[in-house]
Amino acid sequence: MNWLAGLIRSLMLLIVLLCASNHSYAQQRFPKPEFKTEYTQPVPEHPAPRSPALEFLDLAILVLVMSLTAWVAIRRRSRYGILILTIFSLFYFGFYKQGCICSVGSIQNVALALADPTYRLPLVALLVFLLPLIFSLFFGRVFCAAACPLGAIQDLIIFKPINLPVWLRKSLSILPWTYLGLAVLFATTGTDFIICRYDPFIGIYRLNGKFIMILLGIAFLLMGLFVARPYCRFICPYGALLSLTSRFSKWHLSIYPTSCVQCKLCTTACPFEAIDFPDSEQTKPEPRTQTRRFLTFAALIPVLIAVGMFIGSLSHVFLSRANSTVYLAELLIAHPELRSDPLNLDIQTFLASGQTLETLTEDAATIREKFRIGAMILGGFLGLVIGLTALNQLIFRRKEDYQANRADCYSCARCLDYCPVDKTIAHG
Amino acid sequence: MDRKKFITNVGRYSILGALLFITGQIFFKRRVSASGQYVWQIDPMKCTQCGRCATECIKTPSAVKCVHAYDLCGYCDLCGGYFKPNTMDLNTGAENQLCPTGAIQRKFVEEPFFEYAIDEKLCNGCGKCVKGCTSFGNGSLHLQIRHDLCDNCNQCAIARVCPSDAIKRVPIENPYLIKGAFTS
């Protein structure tokens, strides 16, 4: 009886296919009439999208803002200048341009371009991704300081920043790397652009959007009154990249113009706790315990990577459900009764499309395999990040003065106003 | 101090090298489009009028609107896109109209033909008329993303949930997929 059912099914499929092809080719069921009276057919207008030239203009403005920020922070040493630039970015990149495309989201476009042969990366998106990174290699995080609209809105509302304990800050600094890894995983598997989807501030800039996302944006802003730049510090995936590149910056904002007088005023000025204390304030451990600890932690890194890969391979099934193809295939296999549910649009559209469950399952299996490899790499990568973060705490760097931590410093220039050395020079 | 500087320099130029490598990969695989930009558009041949365009767009009301390819229209009196099925009287009474916002204007041309025009200010992109027109008529009504309204999100929120994968990136030079252009 099985073959009979198969025959009937294929016959039905054939009928459905024939109907469908009728549908798309025989458009003119009712031919256009030949009017006897005077009748002019309306010509519908199709408004043009924003000109591509304007996108390159935006790019030029981004470069200009970053260059000015670098000059103001490093040469002019003026918080006032940075503030003006921040307000400009808030209105231009935020309220006027309304976000897209931004450097934070462009990570996903670049990742997708590397993974998907059919995707064409716009040159603007590539440059928007590269330029802030290149700037940070020479001038520090000038993009974060004044050019990023997500940073601008948070920077302007800092009210009474509280100090967070070091262990909490260091643990939370793993989050941006996790978010980065997940975003790349979802982008390369063609699943979703999660950075864009869960951008908390875009709804505020557009004065429109999903209620829950606007609520999240407001929650972040309220938190930002007391915990300075919460999104930048503990979530932003592009910030994770910049914190890495900024460590190697050639020129970077320096707190004092000539020499530090150890007044500590800058540490009270910095809302991000991004200023490192000099050696006298730190307790240096004995060299032998230091070496032993360092070696233990270094040996732990491969273990962490292995554990990460294991957890990654365990979680790939769960992660892959975010992909609509995998989700639909699983749903159809687990709940065949849903085929008769007229309200399930995805299933009804799939059934009407004439695709077979076999091809869908095959596609889903391919995607899940990508997820298995991707999640393992992600897990291993996170193990490495955790290991290196821990190891980094052990490395003792000789410092005589208060210095901006190049990884964490946004070059916002608040500390410059507080440094008394400047004024001494100005008065002779 | 010199050692520190050396390490910083090495780090900086290796990261620059890595960025250059990524860029090179993308260029080498010809996955960059120099001329330009892409915008989102609905392929009317793939669209199944599921109704999500009205609800999933980040704009309220949606940037998706119904457009009318007049060349394909039969100017029918009994229009499947304008009237609800089983309508008794073929007049402009609100109870007869399929469009939930009354965005289609029916205008008498000559016996027995009527012109149907979309008021885009009222249209919410639900696609009910498109479904009616495609099922019972010529399919001259179809959904398009209007680029004066669309914010061109990096990832289109409707494309993510479109059950028929009808929304795709198209080159900015040809930002519309108007149905008339396919058939006439």
Helices (runs of H) and strands (runs of E) counted in chain B: 5, 7
Determine the average pLDDT of the residues in B121-130.
93
CB contact at 8 A, A408 and A274: yes
Q: Which positions in chain B touch A353 (Cβ < 8 Å)?
A: 164
Is the pLDDT at A157 greater than 60, yes or no?
yes
pLDDT value for A11:
52
Q: Are residues A209 and A165 in the same domain?
A: yes
CB contact at 8 A, A35 and B110: yes
CB contact at 8 A, A249 and A406: yes
**CB pair distance less than 8 Å for A32 and B72:** yes
Confidence of residue A10 (pLDDT cuts 50, 70, 90): low
Q: Are residues A64 and A160 in the same domain?
A: yes
Confidence of residue B123 (pLDDT cuts 50, 70, 90): very high
Tens-place pLDDT, residues A76-131: 899 999 999 999 999 999 999 887 889 999 999 999 999 988 888 988 999 999 99
pLDDT value for A401:
86
Tens-place pLDDT, residues A251-310: 999 888 888 888 889 999 999 999 988 876 666 677 788 888 889 989 999 999 999 999
Could you say which residues from 252 to 271 on chain A have a Cβ atom under 8 Å away from some Cβ of chain B? none
Tens-place pLDDT, residues B8-61: 999 999 999 999 999 999 988 878 876 668 899 999 999 999 999 999 998 889
Measured between CB atoms, does A44 come within 8 Å of chain B? yes
CA torsion sign for B10, B16, B17, B22 is positive
Q: Which residue has the tokens 């920043």?
A: A161
Q: Is residue A57 part of a domain?
A: yes
CB contact at 8 A, B74 and A31: yes
Q: Are residues A158 and A238 in the same domain?
A: yes
What is the residue-wise DSSP string for A211-240? HHHHHHHHHHHHHHTTSSSHHHHHT-HHHH
**CB pair distance less than 8 Å for A245 and B74:** no
**CB pair distance less than 8 Å for B8 and A248:** yes
> Rounded CA gap, A59 and A212, in Å?
31
Q: Which positions in chain A touch B71 (Cβ < 8 Å)?
A: 32, 41
Q: What does the block give as tokens for A316?
A: 């790939």
Distance of CA A270 to the CA centre of its chain: 25
Helices (H), A201-344: 202-206, 211-224, 230-234, 237-246, 265-269, 287-320, 324-334
Q: Are residues A243 and A334 in the same domain?
A: no
**CB pair distance less than 8 Å for B11 and A250:** no
**CB pair distance less than 8 Å for A113 and B32:** yes
Q: Is residue A389 part of a domain?
A: yes
Q: Is residue A144 part of a domain?
A: yes
Angle at B45 between CA B126 and CA A330, to 5 degrees: 75
Q: Are residues A165 and A115 in the same domain?
A: yes
Chain A: give the shortest CA distance to residue B74, in Å.
Answer: 5
Q: Are residues A246 and A161 in the same domain?
A: yes
Is the pLDDT at B184 greater than 50, yes or no?
no
Q: Is residue A426 part of a domain?
A: no
**CB pair distance less than 8 Å for B22 and A35:** no
pLDDT value for A19:
46
Q: What does the block give as tokens for B106?
A: 């029916």
Chain A interface disruption, residue of B30, B136, B154, B160, most A CBs within 10 A: B154
Tens-place pLDDT, residues A296-331: 989 999 999 999 999 999 999 999 999 999 999 999
pLDDT value for A147:
94
Q: Are residues A245 and A301 in the same domain?
A: no
Measured between CB atoms, does A281 come within 8 Å of chain B? no
> What is the model's pTM?
0.89
Q: Are residues A216 and A104 in the same domain?
A: yes
Q: Are residues A241 and A293 in the same domain?
A: no
Tens-place pLDDT, residues A18-50: 444 444 444 478 888 888 888 888 888 888 888
Q: Are residues A212 and A292 in the same domain?
A: no
Residues 6+ apart with CB under 8 A from A424: none
Measured between CB atoms, does A24 come within 8 Å of chain B? yes
Chain A interface disruption, residue of B31, B106, B134, most A CBs within 10 A: B31
Q: Which positions in chain B touch A206 (Cβ < 8 Å)?
A: 58-59, 151
Provide φ and ψ at B172, rounded to 5°: -65, -20
Tens-place pLDDT, residues A349-360: 898 888 899 999
pLDDT value for A118:
86
Could you say which residues from 214 to 243 on chain A have a Cβ atom under 8 Å away from some Cβ of chain B? none
Chain A: give the shortest CA distance to residue B95, in Å.
Answer: 24
Q: What does the block give as tokens for B73?
A: 């229209």
B117 bridge partner residues: B105
Q: What does the block give as tokens for A135?
A: 């700037």
Determine the average pLDDT of the residues in A65-80.
94
Q: Which positions in chain A touch B37 (Cβ < 8 Å)?
A: 49, 52, 55, 122, 124
Tens-place pLDDT, residues A167-200: 999 999 999 999 999 999 999 998 999 999 999 9
Is the pLDDT at A426 greater than 60, yes or no?
no
Task: Name the residue among A98, A130, A248 with its Cβ closest to that of B151.
Answer: A98
Task: Name the residue among B48, B109, B163 with its Cβ closest to that of A35.
Answer: B109
Q: Are residues A218 and A331 in the same domain?
A: no
Show the domain range for A163: 53-254
Chain A: give the shortest CA distance to residue B130, in Å.
Answer: 13
Strand, helix or coil for residue A283: coil
Chain A: give the shortest CA distance to residue B6, in Å.
Answer: 10
Q: Are residues A62 and A191 in the same domain?
A: yes
* Bigger pLDDT: B2 vs A136: A136
**CB pair distance less than 8 Å for B117 and A42:** yes
Q: What does the block give as tokens for A106?
A: 């462009």
Q: What is the mean pLDDT of chain A?
A: 88
Measured between CB atoms, does A401 come within 8 Å of chain B? no
Residues 6+ apart with CB under 8 A from A351: A339
Determine the average pLDDT of the residues in B139-159.
92
Chain B: give the shortest CA distance to residue A354, in Å.
Answer: 12
**In A125-135, which positions are buried (b, 16+ CB within 10 angstroms) versus exposed (e)?**
bbbbbbbbbbb
Residues 6+ apart with CB under 8 A from B182: B45
> Rounded CA gap, A248 and A349, in Å?
52
Neighbours of A5 (CB within 10 A): 9
Which of A212, A239, A254 finishes a domain? A254
What is the DSSP secondary structure assignment for residue B122, as one 8-state letter?
T
CB contact at 8 A, B109 and B128: no
Burial of A402 (0-12, 13-18, 19+ CB in 10 A): buried
Amino acid at B68: H
Q: Give the residue from chain A lying closest to B137, CA to CA.
A: A29
**In B3-35, which positions are buried (b, 16+ CB within 10 angstroms) versus exposed (e)?**
eeeeebeebbeebbeebeebbeebeeeebbbee
> Rounded CA gap, A353 and B19, in Å?
42
Determine the average pLDDT of the residues in A151-156.
95
Q: Which positions in chain A touch B161 (Cβ < 8 Å)?
A: 324
**CB pair distance less than 8 Å for B109 and A208:** no
Measured between CB atoms, does A359 come within 8 Å of chain B? no
Helices (runs of H) and strands (runs of E) counted in chain A: 21, 3
* Bigger pLDDT: A406 vs A3: A406
Q: How many domains does chain A have?
A: 2
Distance of CA B37 to the CA centre of its chain: 17
Q: Is residue A266 part of a domain?
A: no
